Each structure stands twice: as structure tokens, then as C-alpha cells.
Amino acid sequence: MLRSNSVGTVAVFFFVLSVGSTMAQTKPRARDLGVPFDGTPGPLNAITDVTGVEVGHTTLISGEDSQKAAVVRTGVTAVLPRGKDSNDPVFAGWFTENGNGEMTGTTWVEESGFLEGPVMITNTHSVGTVRDAVIAWRVKRRGPDKEGYSWSLPIVAETWDGYLNDINGFHVRPEDTFSALESARAGPVAEGNVGGGTGMICNEFKGGIGTASRVLDSKYGGYTVGVLVQCNFGQRDQLRIAGVPVGREIPGRKVWDDDVGSIIVVVATDAPLIPTQLKRVAKRVTLGLGRDGSYSGNGSGDIFIAFSTANSGAASSHGLRQLNMLPNDQINPIFIATVQATEEAVINALVAAKTMIGINGHSVEALPHDRLREVLQKYNRLLK
């Protein structure tokens, strides 16, 4: 990957298309810095700890800041609930804490209880391109159904990266969607300035993609909950990390006067939840963001979707479907895991993201790791 740190040099044009699966999680992650979190993460501490989930990123970085028309800092992230080779929908539910954003396809998720394809995340002005490209990809891969028809209502969400990216240049193309989908893999998930998160800003630090997971105790079924965020919300002084007012302790240059960002959150689990329950899970994301200090500003598109990889075949149209359902009385550990993994995924995005210079010479600094540790130490919250 490439960083636009060559300010003042002659313009150099290039495209880097980086594929998430080839990149391990950036080190260190928030835990590595000694940030204390509750609960037990899965092996990767990533959404891909949920078996079957695949993630792919297309990262588009090109141009110098002095070349406004071509300063590209954007991309596409794909989350495939059962991997790219499955046509088997998953049960899903969604929720919006503040709707200044787009997530296409949610009307059908709400109605049917199913998520029928991938969840895509990109920038605000490229949602349409990505949406139609998902249809094209599906048509190409599996052909029409037996009656000769094929239609779909893809899920594509966005946050706005116009502070760093030439968003009005519409640089995301259908091919970028295909590559995010095709490159999707299980395993570690690249975080920070990658995929749809490439040009994002979080609490006036550099933001982007973050992920985390929790594994439940076997007495609660041993299920996994994974969260992936595209983090672009918040003002500096809101930011709390592990309850510590980190934002106030590390003041910086104002990026904006208001909360104009957004956050898209994808929650995956292998617990057998039905759509009603998955909506409940999606609503818990707000509580995790509350821990990080969010007030969900007017300009924020805080939209969340949760799905379950259990109950494969539930969407088949033939005969009665046999389902498993976790009783509501046993759902609390899933709720807790969702809150905890959301809280951590945002911080992971902040820790992984690197300082970026973008369009108009705009620069957004990364959260300084050493200062974070100092502040945690000041409040007796540093783990190691």
C-alpha cells in the first residue's frame, strides 16, 4: 500500500489495488498497546472468526495532493457471509441509529429477514456503481434462475471520504467491486486505510476499517460474534477508549466543527438467530459506540446490519424449512459480545490507520500509539 507523503514532489500517478487477504492484520492492534477490553476474542479477533465469513478489500490510492482531480483515497470492502461461492442467503436484521447515510437493500432485509448476498462498503458517491456491479457479478457467476430471470437487491453502504478523496471524481469502477468480491478470503482482515475505509476519518484521527470478535463460553453455546466497522464518525473531544477521555487528552487540529462522519457496522455470528433476534443484535451496536463516546451526530450515517451463518438452506423455497433458534432467554451473551466487539473494532480501526494526506493538501493524523499508552497509564487503565 502507498501513502501520499510525497508532498511537493512532481505528481506521480499510480493505482494500487491491494487485496485484503494477502495482508495480515496490521500490528500492533489496540490490545497489543495495552488497551483493556472485556470478553474473550476469537483467534483472529476479527469478523472472520465466524466460520464462512470472507472479507475482501479493494484499496484505491493514487495521485498527489497537488493534483486535485486525481487524488484518489477510496475503495471497496466486501463482507461475504458464507463466502463468495455460496448462493445461500443468511438470516439478517438491520438498524440505524442515525440515518444520514445509505445502505441499499435494507427494505428487503427488513421484509424478508434475509440477506441474500454480500455486504459492500464504499464511499458515498460510489454506492450506485458498486450496487449495480454486484448484480452484474451475480448474473455472471451463476446465471439467471430456471425461469430465465435473475434479480437482486444488493446491500451497499457508505461513508463520506471527500475530505481526503476526490469523491466527485467517481473513481470506483465496477471492476473494483469485482476485485473486492473475488479477493475475499477467510483469515486475518486488513484494517485501517484499506478498502472502503481508505479515506475515512474517526474522531478527527485517521479512521477506516476495524474488526474484532468475541467467543462465548461453552456454557453459552460457544458461539462467535464478529464485528467489522468502517469508521468515519465523531469529533476529537468525544473519544473515549476503555472509558478514558483520550480525545481530550490528545487534542489536535480540528478537522471539522461538527460530527459529519458516519459508521457502518457489520455483525456476524454463527449463533442460530432468527431475523427478529438479529435486529436486536444490530441495535446493541449503539451501546458499543456509546462506550467509545459517540453521540451520533446529525451528519452521521450510523447504520448496522447483523447476520447469522446458522440455518443454511433457510431461504430455500421448497417445502417447510427446519430451523434452529437460540431462545431469547439465552441471547444475552450474544448482546454482550456485540457491544464489546463493536467497542473494540472502532479502536482497532484507529490504531491501525496511518496518517494520510489527500485532496487539497488535507492531512489527517493517525492516533499516536505512544500518547495513547501514556493517557491510559495516567488513568490507571494500561494493561501492560
Enumerate the active-site residues: 262, 300, 302
Assess 198 for contact with a second copy (CB under 8 A). Answer: no
Q: How far is the CB of 287 from a second copy (least distance, A)?
A: 4
CA triplet 10, 15, 20: central angle to 5 degrees? 135
In eight-state DSSP terms, residue 299 is T
Assess 162 for contact with a second copy (CB under 8 A). Answer: yes
Q: Write out the three cell numbers for 335.
A: 448482546
- Using the contact rule CB under 8 A, the part of the chain among 14-22, 56-64, 162-170, 365-373 near a second copy is 162-170
Interaction residues for a second copy, span 243-262 (CB under 8 A): 243-245, 258-259
| Consecutive H or E run containing 319 | none
Nearest by Cα to 136 from 177, 105, 106? 177
Region of residue 222 (phi > 0: left; psi between -120 and 50: alpha; otherwise: beta): left
**Rg of the chain (C-alpha set):** 20
Assess 213 for contact with a second copy (CB under 8 A). Answer: no
CA triplet 226, 79, 99: central angle to 5 degrees? 85
Interaction residues for a second copy, span 92-131 (CB under 8 A): 96-108, 110-114, 124-131
Note the residue count of the chain: 384
Interaction residues for a second copy, span 138-157 (CB under 8 A): 139, 144, 148-151, 153, 156
Residues 6 or more apart from 202 whose CB is under 8 A from it? 208, 231, 232, 233, 234, 261, 263, 346, 349, 350, 353
Contact pick of 295, 354, 361, 368 for a second copy (by CB under 8 A): 295
What mask of x and - would describe binding to a second copy in positions 49 to 88, judged by CB under 8 A? ----------------------------------------
* Residue nearer to a second copy on the CB measure, 17 or 325: 325
Interaction residues for a second copy, span 315-334 (CB under 8 A): 315-332
Assess 291 for contact with a second copy (CB under 8 A). Answer: yes
* Residue nearer to a second copy on the CB measure, 197 or 247: 247
Q: How far is the CB of 210 from a second copy (least distance, A)?
A: 17
First vs last Cα of the chain: how many Å apart? Answer: 30
Cβ-contact 202, 289 below 8 angstroms: no
Interaction residues for a second copy, span 342-371 (CB under 8 A): 360
Q: How far is the CB of 337 from a second copy (least distance, A)?
A: 9
* Residue nearer to a second copy on the CB measure, 14 or 149: 149
